[in-house]
Amino acid sequence: MLKAPLVPDLEIVCYRGRSLATGSPQRECFGPPKDAQARGNRYNAPGKAVLYLCDAAAAVAREVHQGQGERRWVQKFVIPTTRLRLADFAPEEGFLNHVFGETEDAIDPSTSVPPPGPTWAFSQFIASCVGRQFDGMRVRGVRGESGFAYCNIVIFDPALRWSSWLDSSSPIPIDR
């Protein structure tokens, strides 16, 4: 049985970003894809959607790639953690923190010339182990820097719940 501390907050404020070529998005476009459209990513296998979030709006710019001619947007979410079991790996030190650091650095295996190191298969395996006993997890973000640290929140199987967590505010542009 996997043991991990739970996120202690009663609710957490999170942010999700999108990079879009046209118009200003509606709040509803910030949800996860349907399972059938879910591409594999760091913490999910193809065909299995998760909801990726950050605990700082400024972190979204570091996490969301901006395509040519696109504008990045951010939407606020408020997640009541009293109804979820979120494993909290953010404060971990030592070996476990190193493991999650490796998963954050894992590379997309579809890149043409991947550098040596772990691929998403490693991080997807870690997520599948955590997902057997938890609704999601909080891990340290690795794109921070001295003076700016943040966490990533990953919610497993978010399909029926995510829209109730949308904040009433409209999406705001990151790139003005």
**For the chain, what is the mean pLDDT?**
84
Please check whether residue 36 lies inside any domain of the structure.
yes
Query: According to the model, what pLDDT value does residue 120 have?
Result: 77
Query: According to the model, what pLDDT value does residue 96 have?
Result: 65
Query: According to the model, what pLDDT value does residue 3 have?
Result: 77
DSSP for 46-113 reads: TT--EEEEESSHHHHHHHSPPPTT-EEEEEEEEEEGGGS-EEE-TT--THHHHHHHHHHH-B-TTSSS
Please check whether residue 1 lies inside any domain of the structure.
no
Calculate mean pLDDT across residues 108-125: 67
Query: According to the model, what pLDDT value does residue 74 have?
Result: 95
Query: According to the model, what pLDDT value does residue 77 have?
Result: 96
Residue 163 pLDDT greater than 90, yes or no: yes
- The whole domain housing 74 covers 11-173
Please check whether residue 101 lies inside any domain of the structure.
yes
As for how many domains the chain has, the answer is 1
Please check whether residue 3 lies inside any domain of the structure.
no
For 79-111, b where at least 16 C-beta lie within 10 A, e where not — what string?
A: bebeebebbbbbebeeeeeebbeebbebbeeee
Residue 134 pLDDT greater than 90, yes or no: yes
Calculate mean pLDDT across residues 90-108: 65
d(CA 176, CA 171): 13
Please check whether residue 6 lies inside any domain of the structure.
no
Task: Give the H or E element holding residue 130.
Answer: helix 120-131
d(CA 139, CA 161): 21
Please check whether residue 139 lies inside any domain of the structure.
yes
Please check whether residue 127 lies inside any domain of the structure.
yes
| 132 confidence band (pLDDT: 50, 70, 90) | very high
Query: According to the model, what pLDDT value does residue 4 have?
Result: 80
Query: According to the model, what pLDDT value does residue 13 have?
Result: 95
Residue 112 pLDDT greater than 60, yes or no: no
Please check whether residue 5 lies inside any domain of the structure.
no
